Chain A
Amino acid sequence: MSLQLLFDALSLGGIYAIAALGIALIFGVMKLVNFAHGQFIACAVFALILPSTDAVAALGLGLLPTPLLILAILGFGAGLAVAAEALVFRPLRNASPVALMVGSFALGVALQNFLLVLYGGRPKAISLWAGLGAPVRIGPAEVPLLQLIVIAAVIAILLALGLMLKRSRLGLEMRAAAADFGMAQLLGVRANRVISGAFALSGALAAVVALVMVAQTGVADVRMGGQIMLIAFIATVVGGMGSLPGAVAAGLAIGAASALLQAGLPDAARPFRDAFLYALVIVVLLFRPQGLFAAADAKPRV
């Protein structure tokens, strides 16, 4: 039972961590909370099927063989995010953070309505990878194969991202930009390159979340992504705005807490699971208002 719970908690937390990472990456380099991230996820899901308002969906990109399909969707997510940056956020680069945030909201609404026009309001079924839910026996626990894949993918992504940030030039530039954007620019870091890179990574991470959601649920809905975006945003706040390890840790913690509450709360209280979850978030923020892993520059220097 407890091993089962551990896997349930880890896999849900893993999804949230990847989503939170996507938001934290962009916040790190340009102090933008990208509220369109949830719609990036939804767009990546819908990219699998052909645009049509018919009730029955036909696969589009989803017809590709699996390795190509994964690459195509990751590329689609990255491309969408880079395009959004170039068309929406670049012209707003010197605007106030509030204007940027409102811009991201507007982009999210526009993307959602674009999906509504192309695909209609009815949820669509996507017949992909139904076998991934099959349970695998590990000791006393029966774990869906997909949970193992999610956990493995999260670990792989975190390792790869960690290496990239530590070892590659782009990674170094991103960390420099996150620490002090103005100083980094003065020292020759090209702003456009770093910001586009962050958006591409963030979009690809949104696509990872999209693929996991599709494998898990088998459906596409224009409103999907909203709930994950909210939790991911909360995770970046709890983790400390701008801190990548913080976002990952908080995403994992929120997912794990959610799974534990679902398992542990009494019957009558279970419908209010999220109320308990957010109460925990408030408690954490009361003790650490700057978040668990606050970035060094989070506090204004006097």
Chain B
Amino acid sequence: MKYACSLLALLALTAPARAADDITVGFAIAKSGWMEAYDTPAATAAKIRIEEINAAGGLLGQQIKVVEADTRTDRAEAAKAGLDVLDQGAQMMVVSCDYDFGAPAALVAEGEGMNSFFLCAEDVKAGLQGVGPNSFSSSVLAPVQGATMAEWAYAKRDARTAFVLEDTFIEYNKGICTGFDWMFPQLEGAEILGRDTFKNDDASIASQITRIKSLEKTPDVIMLCSVMPGAAAAVRQIRAAGIEALILNGSAVDGSYWLDAVPGLSGFALPVQGTIYGDDPRPEVEAFNAAYEARTGARPASQYAYPGYVLIDLWAKAVERAGTVDGAAVTAELEKMQAEPTAFGPRSFSAELHHQNTALMQIVEITGGKPARVDEWQISQPVPLDVLLGK
């Protein structure tokens, strides 16, 4: 009995001390508001990787603890959420998917010299250029997605003429078109016949469709740089008008949830980091999809869960190599990563760029209303920094 008591006392004493020895990762993400639908899957994926690391013995011999705060999809609240997780002892910060909503929290982390990772930002500003030296994103830059579709459609679908339709809603869309505009015209015999813009919430894109129809010849492909819900609305109106050209888009429209908007859609292709449809050639991807389903009861709704898994994977590797969670030391290790293998393909960082300027992407095509992987493609040369920065 005496032993039991002292054992209990000992446990009581060591329990909090043990917690202080944990490594704490702070999630300053949207747990409410419209951004929640995008942040939660990636954050769930990040936690799956954290649990895997913990189960395998932890990081630097310590368990990783997760603390959270809600940004409520609000830029001002995002900064507060950053301070909140900081107060809870965060040593690395995971912030919202989108640059605009993640940056306020990431800046808080930067001010403390801590590492921050955007859950899935694909704008070059979400990192070194926009936040500071310790900020990263593990997703694939939007211009890479646009350039991938340009080169793939040219090589595999004999696309020689294109029409570019850009949604001016967010920077991501501009990035997709930037990549396409850089890659497509430099391919031999390829030409952009025309272009137009629309706004994501435009009630109708009839004028834009009239412009496509009045081209002298129908373009081989239409590069649509848009996100939901405007992208589905645009595709519906384009197909309804009888334009059957192959439509290309970025990763943002991945997932089959919107396909009811365009019944029986065919000839629509997009690049993804891994496929959610169970047909990815890499067994690790399907293993992750199964782990995600086991945890949440449903498979990922789009590829945007994956960058969450990858970011923890890369950060943990860098921490192991640096032997510390100190921001500058981990950044130095991250910047040494060249084609670092992950479950979703190799990733690289450098002192100039904390993003992927090239990546092996899976090509998903929708045929008869069913999405399926048809190919994979990696652009022949990385997107130059000047193009990424819009110079």
Cα distance, A213 to B237, chains bound together (Å): 12
From B301, which residue of chain A is reached at the shortest CB distance?
A55
Q: Which of B180-225 contact A (CB under 8 A)?
A: 195-199, 201-204, 206-208, 210-211, 213-214
What per-residue 1/0 map shows which CB atoms of A243-271 lie under 8 Å from chain B? 00000000000000001001100010011
Q: Report yes or no: B207 in contact with A5, Cβ–Cβ below 8 A.
A: yes
CB-CB < 8 A to B229: which residues of A?
Answer: 123, 217, 219-221, 224
Are the CB atoms of A216 and B260 closer together than 8 Å? no
The reply to whether B237 and A216 contact each other, CB–CB distance below 8 Å, is yes
Closest to B30 in A: A121
Q: Are B207 and A262 in contact (CB under 8 A)?
A: yes
CB atoms of B240 and A130 under 8 A apart: yes
Are B195 and A267 in touch, CB under 8 angstroms?
yes
Q: How distant is A70 from chain B, measured CB to nearest CB, in Å?
A: 19
Contact pick for B34, options A121, A125, A146, CB 8 Å: A121
User: 8 Å CB contacts to B: which residues of A188-223?
Assistant: 212-213, 216-223
Q: Write the nearest CB–CB distance from B390 to chain A, whole angstroms.
A: 14
Within the complex, what minimum Cβ distance (angstroms) separates B28 from chain A? 17
Q: A219-B232, A270-B196 are in contact. Are A125 and B203 (CB under 8 A)?
A: no
Q: Taking the nearest CB of chain A, how far is it from the CB of B165, in angstroms?
A: 11
**How many residues of chain A get a CB closer than 8 Å to chain B's CBs?**
53
Beta-carbon contacts under 8 Å, A1-52 to B: 1, 4-5, 7-8, 11-12, 15-16
Mask of A121-148 contacts with B, CB within 8 angstroms, 1/0: 1111111001011110000001010110
Task: State the total of A-B contacts with C-beta under 8 angstroms.
Answer: 143
If A218-B232, A218-B236, A224-B201 touch, does A259 touch B261 (CB 8 Å cutoff)?
no
Q: Does B267 contact A (CB under 8 A)?
A: no
Query: Which residues of chain B are near A180, meaning CB under 8 Å?
Result: none
Could you say which residues of chain B place their CB within 8 Å of the CB of A154?
A: none
Question: In the complex, which residues 22-45 of chain B have their Cβ closer than 8 Å to any Cβ of chain A?
Answer: 32-38
Q: List 21 A-B contacts (CB under 8 A).
A: A7-B206, A54-B298, A55-B301, A56-B256, A120-B36, A121-B37, A122-B301, A124-B257, A130-B236, A130-B263, A213-B203, A216-B203, A217-B232, A217-B236, A218-B232, A218-B262, A219-B229, A219-B232, A222-B34, A227-B199, A263-B210
Add 8 more A-B contacts to A120-B36, A144-B237, A147-B206 (CB < 8 A): A5-B207, A122-B37, A125-B232, A217-B261, A218-B236, A223-B201, A227-B199, A262-B198
